[in-house]
Amino acid sequence: MSDPPRRVPRHERITLRGLEHHLTRWGPDSPAPWVLLHGWADTSDTFQFVVDAFAADHPIVAPDWRGFGRSAWQGGPYYFPEYLADLEALLEAVSPDAPATLIGHSMGGNLACLYGGVRPDRVARIVNLEGIGMRRTRPDEAPERYRRWLDELRTPPEFARFDSLDRFAAVLRRRNPRLTEPRAAFIAASWSRPLADGGWVVSADPAHKFVNPVLYRREEAEACWRAVTAPMLVLLGAASDAVRQLGEDAGEPYLRAHHPTAEVVTVPDAGHMLHHDAPEAVARLIETFLAGGAS
């Protein structure tokens, strides 16, 4: 069983660009809240561990991206620029008159950095939890990528089904031994929805699993990152597979070159899901950075 939250979340619905989104809020109301952006297949709920670890109550709003968690499905393929437009619509709703503080993990961190370069006047500060891009691609990969995409259109991918939440939590702990039992139970409940037959399935639109037929162009992302003017904190997990797989493209010299406003900090005993693995350390680093002090 998961532990009860120290800071109780509030939930609401908002329509962004014609699609209903779920929002989680913590702390006092504010015309300029911190905006927390989750990663692929995650939900806003699992920022709870970091929110509970903050030393003070902060105004926070966290959306479920379209097709994830309790936000609506769009009924077709998902493409990355859609999330950029959703983020802009969200900021117009929750921080219309002040540049935003963006705190993003993985996909959410990538979006925060892209948006910070595209709309530098709308972003005050960025905390980037391993939003470090994807591996570089080569043009000669295109035929196989299109082939795979066409094959998936014939046999659409699905998310996993589990017989119980306990089973799902056990799978999460096997994949990430750093998770405590209570945290694994909380995440399993946050990432799933019940089925009529008593089972549980990942609470996300299976269309997210379609491979993108358009190759990722890291050079374009880098151009956006270099245009960011907001102060940035980049947090990396010391045991992160994502960092290891990217190699030099996730090293401190590279990150400092392409994120010229960034401070880079490695969090001990944390993998890619560092907000799950080491929420106390992550919370301390975030609060110190956003208060304007040294980490």
- Asked if residues 133 and 249 have their Cβ atoms less than 8 Å apart, the reply is yes
27 pLDDT higher than 50 = yes
d(C-alpha 265, C-alpha 94), whole Å: 29
Q: In 3-state terms, what secondary structure has residue 250?
A: helix
Give mean pLDDT, residues 146-166.
94
- For position 292, what pLDDT does the model report? 83
Confidence of residue 77 (pLDDT cuts 50, 70, 90): confident
What is the overall mean pLDDT for the chain? 95
Token pair listed for 147: 């082939």
140 pLDDT higher than 70 = yes
135 pLDDT higher than 90 = yes
pLDDT (tens digit per residue) in 194-247? 999 999 999 999 999 999 999 999 999 999 999 999 999 999 999 999 999 999
* Higher-scoring residue by pLDDT: 4, 72: 72
**What secondary structure, in 3-state letters, does 193-243 show?**
EECCCCCEEECECHHHHCCCCCCCCHHHHHHHHHCCCCCEEEEEECCCHHH
Between the CA of residue 11 and those of 2, 60, 65, 197, 234, what are the distances in Å?
A: 19, 12, 14, 27, 28
Residue 230's CB is within 10 A of a number of other CB atoms, namely: 21
Is residue 180 classed exposed, middle or buried when 0-12, 13-18 and 19+ CB atoms within 10 A define those classes?
A: middle
- For position 2, what pLDDT does the model report? 61
Confidence of residue 4 (pLDDT cuts 50, 70, 90): confident
186 pLDDT higher than 70 = yes
Share of the chain above pLDDT 70, in %: 98
At 38, the amino acid letter reads H
Give mean pLDDT, residues 259-284.
97
- For position 115, what pLDDT does the model report? 98
Give mean pLDDT, residues 161-182.
96
- For position 295, what pLDDT does the model report? 38
294 pLDDT higher than 70 = no
Give mean pLDDT, residues 58-83.
94
Give mean pLDDT, residues 17-36.
96
159 pLDDT higher than 50 = yes
63 pLDDT higher than 80 = yes
162 forms beta bridges with: 200
- For position 241, what pLDDT does the model report? 96
For 1-136+217-295, CATH number? 3.40.50.1820
- For position 275, what pLDDT does the model report? 98
Give mean pLDDT, residues 178-204.
95
Residue 56's CB is within 10 A of a number of other CB atoms, namely: 7
Give mean pLDDT, residues 47-61.
97
d(C-alpha 177, C-alpha 172), whole Å: 8
Token pair listed for 217: 């162009």
Q: Domain limits of the chain?
A: 1-136+217-295
